[in-house]
Structure 1
Amino acid sequence: MSSQAQSVLVVEDEQSIASFVSLYLKNAGYGVRAVGTGAGALNAVAAEMPSLIVLDLNLPDMDGIEICRRIRKSSDVPILMLTARDEDVDKIIGLEVGADDYLTKPFNPRELVARVKSVLRRATSDRRIDEGDEIRHGDLVINSGRREVLVGDDEIQLAPKEFDLLWELLDHRGIVLTRDQLLERVWGYTFAGDTRTVDVHVRQIRRKLGDASPIVTVWGVGYKVATERSTAPAA
């Protein structure tokens, strides 16, 4: 799908930021609608689902986390979250409830456009994973068609990018993938993205999978899944 056929909903209460973000996105060929409140965002999503949402974390009537949580109940629309606070806890919470990526203010609008393109390219491209493909690793089972993760008989709820990251690592068992490689493979970045995005997602996967987590850190270089499940994951 071309950018001309795609729409972006900008949810930002600071008019100056909303205006220049909208301008850059329009110049990149996207249809843009901007709203300044959480209620306005939910109404816009209900009226006509956009291709992607740029969502500010701090809004006058509703927290961006809550907006993201409500949207995720009915839709997997890509969400790029904006935050003025450079705190890991904000990013962890945002990614945990289903945001696909984040940017910390102040940011370069060209980087925002590049990230929007990458997220949309990943979301709308033909999936490299065949429907119904399944990977088993000990008690862990991940099914691509149903986007389902099981540990034994228990289903584990993962955010969209957490699922994609886990699949990528499991699909390359025994191979070390650097953070930059994972950014490119999972998020589609072809520029120097923030590798902390990968670390935050890995932490969330480990927390949710607990002892069943197969992800191993390799000397700070990157991550891998051991070929044998008997190898315990790093703490």
Structure 2
Amino acid sequence: MSAQELIYLVEDDADIARLVSLELERYGYRVRYFRTGAQLLAALNQMPRVCIVDLGLPDMDGLELVRQLTAQANIGVMILSGRDSLPDRVLGLELGADDYISKPFDPRELVARVSSVIRRLDKNSQPKSTIYSPGEKGRSIARFEHWCFDSATLTLTRDSGEEAVLSAGEAELLLQLLQSPKQILSRDQLLRQQDDAFDRSIDVRMSRIRKKLEENPKSPRLIKTVYGMGYMLATDVRWE
């Protein structure tokens, strides 16, 4: 199933690196192992499908490496770390990592999560117009407040002309809200449409969307948190 997909692994513990590499290779993946972030970055002339990054690297902050890797097109990024604090997990996801696995870990679960990331990458590389269901009567452009969202291009445009392109996950989440304006959507409802391993991904993506939409993301006016219930888009939506 892996079709010899190339995986990059950066890990300063040789025993863990050997364990991960052997398990991935057992399921048909090709693995290149690096001890430092600089070595991995220098090897990006050959693009891997997924990079697995340890945060405790000897030459650089692993989160900085994650930031640089997520700027690359169509590379999956997974964090594999002994740092299991909530701030690290949230920051890693906010920087764009696709998954976060804490040590100690089950090698077979890691392989399953690598496969899940690759499936999401394949899904998101399809033409955008085939991924997202439009709004009312097949219309794909939503207008609300001072914003216009084009679900075919994943682009938010403000009345002033300011533009922002959403990630695939952010777009899926915003579309759910736009298709049910002034209705409370529970976390369970939102998670059903999100192909992610972590419940926290909803909060992280909601935070990113608010930073793009809201005048004051810390006191949101458009996307309300209804404590104990979920989220609500507190404005009308017109589809074109």
TM-score strictly above 0.5: yes
Report how many residues are paired: 223
Deviation digits for residues 153-201 of structure 1 (CA, Å, limit 9, x no counterpart): 32346555334433444345456554455445222x5xxx431232233
Q: Is the 8 A contact 2:55 2:83 kept in 1?
A: no
Following TM superposition, the consecutive aligned residue runs of length 4 or more in structure 1 with deviations greater than 6 angstroms are none
In 2: Cα distance, 1:23 partner to 1:14 partner: 14
Moved more, 57-66 or 163-172: 163-172
2:63·2:92 contact (CA, 8 Å) conserved in 1?
A: yes
Q: Assess, with a 3 A threshold, how the Cα gap between structure 1 residues 220 and 41 changes in structure 2: closer, same or farther.
A: farther
- Give SS of 1:124's match: helix
Task: Call closer, same or farther: CA 1:38–1:171 in 2, change over 3 Å.
Answer: farther
Q: 1:60 to 1:218 in 2, by over 3 A?
A: same
Superposed, 1:40-79 pairs within 5 Å as 40-45=39-44, 47-79=45-77
- Using the TM superposition, name which of 160-169 and 52-61 deviates more: 160-169
Runs of 5+ consecutive residues of structure 1 not aligned to the other structure: 230-235
| Structure of larger gyration radius | 2
TM-score, length-scaled by structure 2: 0.75
Separation in structure 1 between the aligned mates of residue 204 and residue 20 of structure 2, nearest angstrom: 25
Residue 6 (structure 1) aligns with: 5
Is structure 2 residue 206 aligned with structure 1 residue 202?
Answer: yes
Q: TM-score normalised to the size of structure 1?
A: 0.76
Distance 1:184 1:70, change over 3 A: same
**Identical residues among aligned pairs (%):** 39
Asked whether the 8 Å contact 2:83–2:102 carries over to 1, the reply is: yes
User: Gapped runs of 5+ residues in structure 2?
Assistant: none
CA distance in 1 between counterparts of 2:48 and 2:221 reads 34
The equivalent of 2:114 in structure 1 is 116
Aligned-pair Cα RMSD in Å: 3.1
Q: CA deviation at 1:204?
A: 3.3
